[in-house]
Amino acid sequence: MGKARPAAARRKGPGAPAGAPGGRARPNPNPFEVKVNRQKFPVLGRKARHAVGQPGVSRARAVQKRTQTLLKEYRERDKSNIFTDKRFGEYSSNMSSEEKMVRRFALEQQRQHEKKSIYNLNEDEELTHCGQSLADIEKHNDIVDSDSDPEERGTLSAELTAAHFGGGGGLLHKKTPLQQGGEEEKPRSRRELIEELIAKSKQEKRERQAQREGALELTEKLDQDWKEIQTLLTHRTPKSENRDKKEHPKPDAYDMMVRELGLERKAQPSNRMKTEEELAKEKQDRLQKLEAARLRRMRGEDEAGDARKPKHLSADDLNDSFVLDKDNRRLLSYTDGKMSIKEEQSREASDGESEEEQGEDPSEEDPGDSSDPEGHSDLESDAGSEEDRGWPDREPRPAPGERMTSDGHKARELAKTELPYTFAAPESYEELKSLLSGKTMEEQLVVVERIQTCNHPSLAMGNKAKLEKLFGFLLEYIGDLATDDPPELRVIDKLVVQLYNLCQMFPDSASNSIKFVLRDAMHEMEGAIEARGRAVFPGLDVLVYLKIAGMLFPASDFRHPVVTPALVCMSQLLTKCPVLSLQDVVKGLFVCCVFLDYVSLSRRFIPELINFLLGILYIATPNKHSHGYTLVHPFRASGKNSELLLVSDQEDTATWQRRGLSLGWAGGLKAQTKTEANHTRLSCLAVCLALVKRCVLLYGPLPSFHTIVRPLRALLTEHLAGCGHPPELQELCQSALADMEKQEQCCRPLVCEKSKPLPLKLFTPRLVRVLEFGKKQGSSKEEQERKRLIHKHKREFKGAVREIRRDNQFLARMQLSETLERDAERKRKVKQLFNSLATQEGEWKALKRKKFKK
């Protein structure tokens, strides 16, 4: 194959006739001009570019090119004046010569027109038609000798055209005298002609009208016939009954029908509506995907950071400000008219409900949630939904801290109706506080929502920063609400939803704000530890922040920039803060609950929590033997707080009923009566036992579970032995103990994972992939590129040098020929002179000789 191609070229070469010299693409060059570069070895896949050459031809081409460029320049080297060709479009190749002519003519005309004086109004240019002046045609109206326009088309009749424009209807005009024959030989006057024309056209019009009327009548008749047949065809009695009524608007109805059919909008092709199942499936798929991502983070598999996740989140619907769409609607409903407060409230309530419902759905569908410990979650969620239904009823009531008289309520109502619809985003925390202070819970929520709506990032440039700041301010506001006395936890409860939405929009700034408040809390605690060696339980705000952090961010991640510090913070609360009062117990138990909620999905082990529960159980134990367990740091075996949770009053024990602990009380300073305090103690103990039970469930599968719960077990048996508890607590104790017993202990000896055996050193030769022959191998891409460029530069340089040399040679040749020419000329002239002189001399001599002869 490699050999065949040059052979074919060669065969083809001689066969082709020789083309004109100097031509570029000559299929048949002169065989005597062809020079063949013989190849030593045929190489597969190599293009032979210089196998055949025509040195003579290419040299001639070069010389020609030089004469056209270099020589020209050389000859004009000392000349400074230039000849410019200003003919229009002389050198533009994209104009045909006719076009050029037309444009040049137009230019010429224009130039002529412009030349005349602007005051010379009369001197118009003469208009012509078929080379004759139009003025002449006006004068001689009957000279219709033009033979053009033989065809009969157009609405105007030929005579009319001829009469009005003088030309065109030559043939017809010639016919008319034939028709009228001998009647009137003499040419009619112009007036007569026109009258005749008018009459003729009127008649024509009449005829046309009559024809149209006839057609109409026929159509109507046809319609009637059709109607009759139609009634026969369709045996519909109502139609036939209605016929006489509809007789008059019948054509209209028909038209309407036709138009309707014609104009009906064509159905646009769109996405198929999704069925219920598909929607549900889509939702579930999305949740599953999110859950899978969560699980991956929980196991810490993508510690190195994966770039896919943020994309995934940004594509998420949740990020698309799903609440804000709703808010927009609400804003519209507010702006387009007066809106009564009732409506507002009901909408609010329904919104709240729908949100709760929305929130509940995922929790039911969440595969992670429906694991075995929450087997009874169905029952609970039912109960919860009942409670939810009760919520909106409760909501309109004022917050507990804001009890007021009916007068005050009315005034509040008035003020509420005057709530402005737009709010500027607050620039500082004080601004936000002044906006929100003195308002009821609902109003505060409305204000916050409106701030968000009015400053949606899609509306203006700086809104994003404003809303980012709003998150920080809201957080601070929540902290203030939590430290108030009494703490307004219901408002916080509602604001949390807003925080969640804001957080979904701005994860980075939200995480920074949360980090900031956490660092503040930790810093304070660290200061207290350094100053006094121990810290006190912080206010409710820190606890609320911790809880919120767990709701905004996935608490189950292996490592998370916000959650991990929050976990350390909680661990500090449980290890560094001694329990000094009943409120501390409540706070500590709340921290425990939050802690366990954090790890409820990831089931991670928290040693501090076990220690804390042990301590709480200890301070509730009546007769201490302190056998089988040791207390750790914040708790002491003896001291004034070692019997903090002990209830000695039998009556209180009997009247106690299990209730949830009041978080508000823990933050406030309200004193309790002795009975209340005792009840709270028992409730604390109940919560503690429930948490112990939960821990047992969570940590059951851990390898050294029994070692972990051994102290707890010892204390629980003591509790049971004490017998001072109400029966409910006894049951809790027993069930917790039973759960502990149930866990199987398996002590399988530990075995390290087998490490990969190290491969032996092998002596196989190193193989290098050869990509292309002839190229330099074995270097990096950049190196190859560099080499390629160097090579190219060298080649170009050589080429340029060669060109310059050839140019010089050419010029030298030209100069030489010029010199030779000049010399020849001179020689010729000198010769001529000598000739003439010789002739003169000869003549003179001849004369002299003549004279001399004479």
Partner 1 sequence: MVSAAWGGGGGGMERDPGPEGARRALGRLLEAVLASRGEANAVFDILAVLQWGVGGPPATSLFPQSEDHEETQEAVRACSRLFGALLERGELFVGRLPSEDSVMAGSQGATRKYKVWMRHRYHSCCNRLQELLAHASFEVKELALSTLMKFVQLEGAYPLEKPKWDGCYLFPRQLFKAVVEGLLSPENDCSLLLSRFREYLEHDDIRYHVMRAATDVVGRVADRYPEVPLTFWNNAFTLLSAVSLPRQECSFSTFYVKHVELSSTWKVVHLKEHRKAFQLMWLGFLRHKLPLSLYKKVLVVMHDSILPHLAQPSLMIDFLTRAYDVGGAISLLALNGLFVLIHQHNLEYPDFYRKLYGLLDPSVFHVKYRARFFHLADLFLSSSHLPAYLVAAFAKRLSRLALTAPPEALLMVLPFICNLLRRHPACRVLVHRPLGPELDADPYDPEEEDPAKSRALESSLWELQALQRHYHPEVSQAASVINQALSVPEVSIAPLLDLTAFEVFERDLKKKGQESVPLEFIPAQGLLGRQDDLCAQHFTLS
Q: Which is nearer to partner 1, 495 or 716 (CB)?
A: 495
Helices 406-417 and 341-365 meet at what angle, rounded to 10?
80
Q: Please pick, from the candidates 160, 445, 593, 737, the single residue that binds partner 1 as defined by CB under 8 A.
A: 593
Query: Does residue 613 belong to the site contacting partner 1 (CB under 8 A)?
Result: no
d(CA 706, CA 22): 103
Instruction: Provide the mask over 708-727, with x wherever binding to partner 1 is found by CB under 8 A and - wherever it is not.
Output: x-------------------
Contact of 22 with 64, CB cutoff 8 Å: yes
* Residues 317 to 376 in contact with partner 1, rule: CB under 8 A: 318, 355-356, 358-360, 362-363, 366, 369, 374
Closer to partner 1 by CB, 571 or 642: give it. 571
Closest C-alpha to 669, from 587, 543, 583? 583
Decide if residue 450 touches partner 1 (CB under 8 A).
no
Distance CA 379, CA 381 (A): 6
Q: Does 553 sit near partner 1 (CB under 8 A)?
A: yes
**The binder of partner 1 chosen from 448, 502, 548, 682 (CB under 8 A):** 548
Quote the radius of gyration of the chain (alpha carbons, Å): 54
Q: Which amino acid is at 472?
A: G
* 707 touches partner 1 by CB under 8 A: yes
As measured in angstroms, the least distance from the Cβ of 750 to partner 1 is 4
CB 785 to partner 1: min, Å: 33
Q: Does 693 bind partner 1 (CB under 8 A)?
A: no
Stretch that binds partner 1, among 41-49, 56-64, 290-298, 777-785 (CB under 8 A): 290-298
Q: 454, 475, 606, 729: which one contacts partner 1 (CB under 8 A)?
A: 606
Q: Decide if residue 730 touches partner 1 (CB under 8 A).
A: no
Both structure tokens of 631:
């207390």
Choice from 519, 786, 798, 802 touching partner 1 (CB under 8 A): 519
Which residue lies nearer to partner 1 by CB, 352 or 622? 352
Q: Which stretch binds partner 1 (CB under 8 A): 199-207, 464-472, 603-611, 789-797?
A: 603-611
For the segment 554-573, give every residue that binds partner 1 (CB under 8 A). 554-555, 557-562, 564-565, 567-569, 571-572
Chain centroid offset of residue 775 CA: 45
Binding of partner 1 by 608 (CB under 8 A): yes
List the structure tokens of 315: 């594509």
Q: How many residues bind partner 1 (CB under 8 A)?
A: 126
515 touching partner 1, by CB under 8 A? yes
Residue whose CB is less far from partner 1, 492 or 733: 492
Among 158, 470, 691, 715, binds partner 1 (CB under 8 A): 691
Residue 531 interacts with partner 1 (CB under 8 A): yes or no: no
Token pair of 458 as six digits: 């899609």
Beta strands in 279-420 (DSSP E): none
Which residue of 331, 613, 617, 687 would you call a contact of partner 1, by CB under 8 A? 687
Which tokens in the block code for residue 430? 């004080």
- Binders of partner 1 in range 746-785 (CB under 8 A): 746-753, 755
DSSP per residue, 241-286: HHHHHHTTTHHHHHHHHHHHHHHSPPPPP-PPPPPHHHHHHHHHHH
State how far the Cα of 548 lies from the Cα of 263, in Å rounded to an integer: 58
Q: Which stretch binds partner 1 (CB under 8 A): 184-192, 342-350, 548-556, 827-835?
A: 548-556
Integer angstrom CA distances of residue 56 from 31, 134, 255, 499, 808 = 12, 67, 85, 87, 19
Task: Check binding of 587 to partner 1 (CB under 8 A).
Answer: no
Report if residue 284 touches partner 1, rule: CB under 8 A.
no
Q: Which residue intervals of 398-505 are DSSP H helices?
A: 406-417, 429-436, 441-454, 463-483, 489-505
Nearer to partner 1, 166 or 711 (CB): 711
Which residues, numbered 473-492, are part of the site for partner 1 (CB under 8 A)?
489-490, 492
705 touches partner 1 (CB under 8 A): yes
Count the residues in the chain: 854
Roughly what angle, to the nearest 10 degrees, separates helices 489-505 and 463-483? 160
Task: Determine if the peptide bond prior to 486 is cis (ω within 30°).
Answer: yes
Q: Which of residues 115-154 bind partner 1 (CB under 8 A)?
A: none
Nearer to partner 1, 530 or 772 (CB): 530
User: Would you give the binding string for partner 1 spanning residues 77-116, x where CB under 8 A is met?
Assistant: ----------------------------------------
Under DSSP, the state recorded for 265 is: P
List 158, 435, 502, 552, residue binding partner 1 (CB under 8 A): 552
Q: CB-wise, 279 or 837, nearer to partner 1?
A: 279
Residue 204: C-alpha distances to residues 161, 208, 211, 603 (Å): 17, 6, 11, 102
User: First-to-last CA distance in the chain?
Assistant: 100
Q: What DSSP string describes 452-463?
A: HHHT-TTT-TTH
| Residue 254 CA, distance from chain mean position | 50
Q: Is 202 in the site for partner 1 (CB under 8 A)?
A: no
CA pair distance 166, 135, nearest whole angstrom = 11
Contact region with partner 1 (CB under 8 A), list: 195-203, 288-296, 406-414, 431-439 = 288-296
Nearer to partner 1, 56 or 362 (CB): 362
- 3-state secondary structure (DSSP) of residue 21: coil
Q: Backbone phi, then psi, for 376, in 5-degree steps?
A: -95, 15
386-415 positions binding partner 1, by CB under 8 A: 387, 400
Rounded CA gap, 774 and 786, in Å?
16
Query: Is the CB of 67 or the CB of 385 nearer to partner 1?
Result: 385
Q: With CB under 8 A as the contact rule, which of the stretches 245-253, 274-282, 661-669, 802-810 interacts with partner 1?
A: 661-669
Which of 66, 173, 294, 450 is in the footprint of partner 1 by CB under 8 A?
294
- Torsion 152-153-157-163 (CA) sign: negative
Q: In the numeric block, which tokens belong to residue 59?
A: 């040299």
Whichever of 160 and 685 has its CB closer to partner 1, that residue is 685
- Residue 288 lies near partner 1 (rule: CB under 8 A): no
